[in-house]
Amino acid sequence: MMTYAGIDLHATNSVVVVLNDADRVLYQKRLRNDLPLIRTALEPYRTTVQGVAVESTYNPGFRSKRYRPKTTFKNTLIVNALGCQF
């Protein structure tokens, strides 16, 4: 089974969601912005996650310094919804 993770980053917390390839929500929780906590929440899905999208318009420095270098997940993208085309 393939899974996909999304993180909606806010100033003090993030909403973390993991979906399977049938769009079924496997995990959804609001967590404080603590990278070890978020990584622990995603750990059970590490072998199946095909990609992680981190959406945020908050604090670009926080996004690039905290999330990108330390991720253990392949295909991690920083996404700004205003720049996406659907």
Q: Give me the pLDDT at residue 77, please.
A: 58
Q: Give me the pLDDT at residue 42, please.
A: 92
Task: Please name the residue that has the structure tokens 């392949």.
Answer: 74
Q: Give me the pLDDT at residue 86, please.
A: 45
**For domain 3-83, is the CATH number 3.30.420.40?**
yes
Q: Give me the pLDDT at residue 11, please.
A: 81
List the domain boundaries for the chain. Answer: 3-83
Averaged pLDDT in 10-residue chunks for the chain of 86 residues:
89 92 96 91 92 71 50 60 53
Task: Please spell the DSSP secondary structure of 57-86, one letter per residue.
Answer: SS-HHHIIIIITTT--SSSEEEE-GGG---
C-alpha Rg value of the chain to the nearest Å = 12
Q: Give me the pLDDT at residue 23, please.
A: 93
Distance in angstroms (rounded) separating the CA atoms of residues 45 and 64: 23
